[in-house]
Amino acid sequence: MADGGAVDVVAAPDGVAGGKQPLRWFLGKGLFWSPWPLLVLLDLWSKDAAFSWMEARYGGEHGRYPVFVTELLRFDLVTWENPGTIWGLFGDGTIALMVLRCCAVLGMLWFVASTPASKRLMLAILSLIFAGAIGNLYDNFTRGDADPARSVRDFLFFSGEWPVAWTFPAFNVADSCITVGAIGLLLTMLREDVASRKPRKAVSS
């Protein structure tokens, strides 16, 4: 009790009105902080394993090893270097893409800090996207001597011949995390938007 009868205000914990503690980054948000380091390790390990195995088999050349082949679906291991985005777009803008990816990582951290711990699905989805961004940025920053420089390693390639000939861009585990996370984020935001538009039933007194 302060002089004059005023009551001292104690900072509220995270999740309580008035609480602005640094713990809001971590408290109750294990579904964001726990998955992404493991997913990054899986991405980097799979890239190293696939490229090392293919290099030993093809003597350092860019090979294409058929794992599963049918008319409907064909799955190959490849060793392709991608300096751009999906389908190799913006291949001449690797540095600009690196800057954008770094900004996206910072933006996601801010988003996580402002997302309530109760939104567990949203935090898990953000962890997927964050893991994918970190995995590909690792390649960007550590592969300055690659050809092309600072390219991302892709090794999963799907194609087919039915009903028409088709191919899907080569990708890696990080790309999979980003794609699944982006779809999940879109569906979650659409669901929340639909829920917010539904009229609330009046509560009888």
> Which residues carry out catalysis?
154, 175
Structural tokens at position 52: 């090392």
Long-range contacts of the stretch 108-115 (C-beta < 8 A, 24+): 108/133, 112/25, 112/29, 112/32, 113/24, 113/25, 115/29
2 and 8 in contact (C-beta within 8 Å)?
yes
Structural tokens at position 130: 């964050």
Distance CA 167, CA 158 (A): 6
Distance CA 64, CA 159 (A): 12
Which residue in the block uniquely carries the two structure tokens 């751009």?
Answer: 84
Which residue in the block uniquely carries the two structure tokens 């991302």?
Answer: 152
